[in-house]
Structure 1
Amino acid sequence: MASILMVAGEGLPFIKTGGLADVIGSLPPELVKKGHEVRVVMPLYQKIAQNYHQDFYFEKEYSVSINYHEVPVRLYSIIKNNVVFYFIEHQGYFERDSLYGYDDDGERFAYFQKAVLEMLNQLNYWPQIIHCHDWHTGMIPCLCKEAHGYDERYRNIRHVYTIHNLAYQGNFGVEMLDSCLGLGYHLFDNGNVRYDGGISFMKSGILYADKVTTVSPSYSQEILTPQYGEHLEMVLNMRKYDLWGITNGIDIESWNPMSDPEIPYHFNKVNAQAQKKENKLALQKELGLQEDPNVLLVGVVSRLTWQKGFYLLMEKLNELCAAPIQLAVLGSGEPLIEEKMAQLEAGNKGKIVFYRGYNESLSHRIYAASDLFLMPSLFEPCGISQLISMRYGTLPLVRETGGLRDTVQPFNEYEKTGNGFSFANYSSDELINTLYFAIDVYYNRKEDWTTLIRHAMNTDVSWEKSAGTYGLLYDELLKY
Structure 2
Amino acid sequence: MERILLVAAEGLPFVKSGGLADVIGSLPYEFKKKGYDVRVVLPMYRKIALNWRDKMTHLRSYTVSINYSETPVNLYYYILDGVTFYFIENAGYFEREGLYGYIDDGERFAYYQKAVLEMCNQLDYFPDIMHTHDWHTGMIPAMCKENYNHDPRYRHIKHVYTIHNLAYQGNFPVEMLEPCLGLGHYVFDNGNVRFDGGISFMKSGIVYADKVTTVSPSYAQEIKTPQYGEHLETVLRYREPDLCGIVNGIDINLWNPKTDNLIASNYSLTTYKKGKGKNKTELQKELGLTVDENVMLISVVSRLTWQKGIYLMIEQLFNICSQPIQLVVLGSGEAGLEEKLREAENANKGKVCFYCGYNEALSHKIYAASDLFLMPSLFEPCGISQLISMRYGTLPLVRETGGLRDTVHAYNEYTQEGNGFSFTNYNSNDMMHVLWEAIDVYYNRPDMWKQIVKNAMKTDVSWSTSAEFYLGVFREIAG
Whether the TM-score (by the shorter chain) exceeds 0.5 is: yes
Instruction: Tell me which residue corresponds to 2:257.
Output: 257
Instruction: Tell me which residue corresponds to 1:199.
Output: 199
Secondary structure of the 2:326 match is strand
Instruction: Tell me which residue corresponds to 1:286.
Output: 286
Instruction: Tell me which residue corresponds to 1:334.
Output: 334
**Structure 1 gap ranges (5+):** none
Instruction: Tell me which residue corresponds to 1:163.
Output: 163
Per-residue CA distance 1:348-397 (angstroms, 9 max, x = gap): 11111011111001000000000000100000000000000000000000
Structure 1 letter corresponding to 2:40? V
Instruction: Tell me which residue corresponds to 1:26.
Output: 26
Secondary structure of the 1:411 match is coil
Instruction: Tell me which residue corresponds to 2:53.
Output: 53
Instruction: Tell me which residue corresponds to 1:97.
Output: 97
Q: C-alpha separation between the residues in 2 aligned to 1:155 and 1:175? A: 27
Structure 1 letter corresponding to 2:275? Q
Residues 163, 213 of structure 1: 8 Å contact kept: yes
Are 1:440 and 2:440 matched, yes or no? yes
Secondary structure of the 1:29 match is helix
Q: C-alpha separation between the residues in 2 aligned to 1:192 and 1:303? A: 33
Per-residue CA distance 1:411-453 (angstroms, 9 max, x = gap): 1233322100000010000111111100000000000011011
Per-residue CA distance 1:14-72 (angstroms, 9 max, x = gap): 01111000000000001100111110001000111111111001010000011111100
Are 1:119 and 2:119 matched, yes or no? yes
Q: C-alpha separation between the residues in 2 aligned to 1:340 and 1:18? A: 24
Are 1:134 and 2:134 matched, yes or no? yes
What is the CA distance between 1:399 and its match in structure 2?
A: 0.2
What is the CA distance between 1:75 and its match in structure 2?
A: 0.5
What is the CA distance between 1:339 and its match in structure 2?
A: 1.1
What is the CA distance between 1:265 and its match in structure 2?
A: 0.1
Secondary structure of the 1:5 match is strand
Instruction: Tell me which residue corresponds to 1:431.
Output: 431
Instruction: Tell me which residue corresponds to 1:177.
Output: 177
Secondary structure of the 1:286 match is helix
What is the CA distance between 1:299 and its match in structure 2?
A: 1.0
Q: C-alpha separation between the residues in 2 aligned to 1:179 and 1:345? A: 52
Instruction: Tell me which residue corresponds to 2:362.
Output: 362
Q: C-alpha separation between the residues in 2 aligned to 1:179 and 1:448? A: 63
Q: C-alpha separation between the residues in 2 aligned to 1:164 and 1:181? A: 23
Are 1:107 and 2:107 matched, yes or no? yes
Secondary structure of the 1:264 match is coil
Secondary structure of the 2:451 match is helix
Instruction: Tell me which residue corresponds to 2:385.
Output: 385
The alignment's TM-score, normalised by the length of structure 1, stands at: 0.99
What is the CA distance between 1:340 and its match in structure 2?
A: 1.0
Instruction: Tell me which residue corresponds to 1:88.
Output: 88
Residues 5, 131 of structure 1: 8 Å contact kept: yes
Structure 2 letter corresponding to 1:308? K
Structure 2 letter corresponding to 1:115? A
Q: C-alpha separation between the residues in 1 aligned to 2:343 and 2:48? A: 35
Residues 304, 332 of structure 1: 8 Å contact kept: yes
Secondary structure of the 2:174 match is coil
Q: C-alpha separation between the residues in 2 aligned to 1:289 and 1:185? A: 61
Secondary structure of the 1:115 match is helix
Instruction: Tell me which residue corresponds to 1:301.
Output: 301
Instruction: Tell me which residue corresponds to 1:274.
Output: 274
Instruction: Tell me which residue corresponds to 2:78.
Output: 78
Q: C-alpha separation between the residues in 1 aligned to 2:474 and 2:3? A: 9
Identical aligned pairs, as a percentage? 66
Per-residue CA distance 1:287-314 (angstroms, 9 max, x = gap): 1111000000001111110000011111
Q: C-alpha separation between the residues in 2 aligned to 1:82 and 1:161? A: 24
Structure 1 letter corresponding to 2:320? L
Instruction: Tell me which residue corresponds to 1:422.
Output: 422
Q: C-alpha separation between the residues in 2 aligned to 1:455 and 1:72? A: 54
Structure 2 letter corresponding to 1:70? E
Q: C-alpha separation between the residues in 1 aligned to 2:452 and 2:199? A: 48
Secondary structure of the 2:301 match is strand
Give the count of matched residue pairs. 479
Secondary structure of the 1:422 match is strand
Residues 375, 386 of structure 1: 8 Å contact kept: yes
What CA RMSD, in Å, does the superposition of the two structures yield over aligned residues? 0.7
Which moved further from structure 2: 197-206 or 79-88? Answer: 79-88
The alignment's TM-score, normalised by the length of structure 2, stands at: 0.99
Q: C-alpha separation between the residues in 1 aligned to 2:304 and 2:361? A: 19
Q: C-alpha separation between the residues in 2 aligned to 1:97 and 1:445? A: 50
Secondary structure of the 2:127 match is coil
Q: C-alpha separation between the residues in 2 aligned to 1:20 and 1:116? A: 18
What is the CA distance between 1:338 and its match in structure 2?
A: 1.0
Q: C-alpha separation between the residues in 2 aligned to 1:121 and 1:30? A: 27
Which moved further from structure 2: 334-343 or 159-168? Answer: 334-343
Instruction: Tell me which residue corresponds to 2:2.
Output: 2
Structure 2 letter corresponding to 1:443? Y
Residues 2, 474 of structure 1: 8 Å contact kept: no
Residues 2, 475 of structure 1: 8 Å contact kept: no
Structure 2 letter corresponding to 1:192? N
Secondary structure of the 2:40 match is strand
Residues 307, 379 of structure 1: 8 Å contact kept: yes
Are 1:218 and 2:218 matched, yes or no? yes
Q: C-alpha separation between the residues in 1 aligned to 2:3 and 2:276? A: 43
Secondary structure of the 2:303 match is strand
